[in-house]
Structure 1
Amino acid sequence: MMTQTKAADGHLFDCWIEPAKSERKGGIVILQEIFGVTDQLKGVAAIYAALGYEVAIPALFDRQERGVVVPFDKGPKGRDLMLAAKLDETMVDVAAAVAALAKNGGKVGVIGFCWGGGLAIRAAQTLDIAAAVAFYGTRLPQYLDRPLKAPMQGHWGTQDDHVPAEMLAEAQAYLPQMEVHTYTAGHAFANDARPSYVPDVAAKAHARTQAFLQKHLG
């Protein structure tokens, strides 16, 4: 269900909450692509809720345009909204979503996709979380300015034109504690609503993610 969450600076934003479907293990914040809180992401939330996690998806574009969900074939609009977002403000909203789940008990982790994958790295650097996972996180150079505080796992396709091999190598060198997995795939390989979807690769990446979160969240 869609709820509202208040950030530390008073900003009120939408946040999709998927309750845990079994005994609650903890919480997971899912960080969006450049398309907003999509039905596809809600489907991902349902998968992790079935494993016992309460899941939150904060609407990180609400500071730019409230309630916006960008169609997958309108990438330039999503990119413009992403470029208009200020990293520090976005992370205030992520922190609020983390805090909302933490209030309900247990440890909290973060999973981010695309733009949100890069934000997951920032979360592991700055927020009080138990672990973070990036799926094809983008804009990596801007996050190479401080060490990780939380365990971090990342998944990238070797054919991802958003993240060239040298960019990923630079990130691995700067963040040597980050567990990195690469796959023969392009960008957005885990998005089952887009042509880039690679089912077997997505399944492998999610299995590794679930094991990683089980280890660090319980």
Structure 2
Amino acid sequence: MMKTITASDGHLLNCWFEPAVGERRGGIAILQEIFGVTDQLKGVAAKYAALGYEVAIPALFDRQERDAVVPFDQAPRGRDMMLASDIEQTVIDIDAAVKALAANGGKVGVIGFCWGGGLALRAAQDLDIAAGVAFYGTRLPQYLDRPLKAAFLGHFGTLDDHVPAEMLDQAKAYLPEMEIHMYEAGHAFANDARPSYVADAADLAHARTTEFLAKHVG
């Protein structure tokens, strides 16, 4: 269900919460692509909630436009909103979701997709989390300015023109402790609502993520 949470600067933002199924193992914050809190992301939340995690998806566009959900065929609109976002404000919005999960007990991990994948890297550098996971995280160079504080796993496609090989090599050189897996796929290969979806790659990436979270979160 959608609830309102409060960031440390007083900003009120919406956040989708998916309750854990069965015994709660910890929390996971899922960070959006440039399309907002979509039904597709809510489906991802349900997948991890079924594993015993309480899941939260903060609405990271709420500072630009409340309740913004951008259709997948209107990427330029989402990109504009992403570019208008202030990274420091976005991180404290993520932290609000992390703290809401932590208040219910256990460790918290973060999973991000596309824009959210890069933000998951920043969360693993700045926030009190146990683990971070990026699915084809973008804009990586802007995050190569500080060390990791949490374990980090990245999934990237060999055909992803948003994250060229040289960009990923730069990130791996700066943060060699990252665990990186490559897939024969392009960008957004794990989004089952888009033509870019590659089922085999997505299934393997989620399986590796499940194992990683079980190790580091609970």
TM above 0.5, yes or no, is: yes
What's 1:27 paired with? 27
What's 1:114 paired with? 114
Give RMSD over aligned pairs: 0.3
Shift of 1:172: 0.4
What's 1:170 paired with? 170
What's 2:45 paired with? 45
Structure 1 distance, partners of 2:18, 2:67, is 18
Shift of 1:35: 0.1
What's 1:18 paired with? 18
SS of equivalent residue, structure 1 residue 194: coil
Shift of 1:73: 0.1
Give the letter for the 2:107 counterpart.
K
1:15-42 Cα offsets, whole Å, 9 max, x none, are 0000001100000000000000000000
Structure 1 distance, partners of 2:23, 2:134, is 26
SS of equivalent residue, structure 1 residue 182: strand
What's 1:77 paired with? 77
Shift of 1:155: 0.2
Q: 2:62 matched to 1:62?
A: yes
Shift of 1:76: 0.1
**TM-score, normalised by the number of residues in structure 2:** 1.00
Q: How does 1:98-109 map to 2 (within 5 A)?
A: 98-109=98-109
Q: How does 1:173-212 map to 2 (within 5 A)?
A: 173-212=173-212
Structure 2 distance, partners of 1:39, 1:158, is 27
| Structure 1 consecutive aligned stretches of length 4 or more whose deviation exceeds 4 Å | none
Give the letter for the 1:140 counterpart.
L
Segments of 5+ residues of structure 1 without an aligned counterpart are none
Structure 2 distance, partners of 1:169, 1:182, is 12
**TM-score, normalised by the number of residues in structure 1:** 1.00
1:2-24 Cα offsets, whole Å, 9 max, x none, are 00000000000000000001100
What's 2:137 paired with? 137
Structure 2 distance, partners of 1:45, 1:19, is 9
Give the letter for the 1:23 counterpart.
E
Structure 1 distance, partners of 2:175, 2:217, is 21
What's 1:151 paired with? 151
Q: How many residues align?
A: 218
Shift of 1:180: 0.3
Percentage identity across paired residues of the two chains = 76
Segments of 5+ residues of structure 2 without an aligned counterpart are none
What's 1:95 paired with? 95
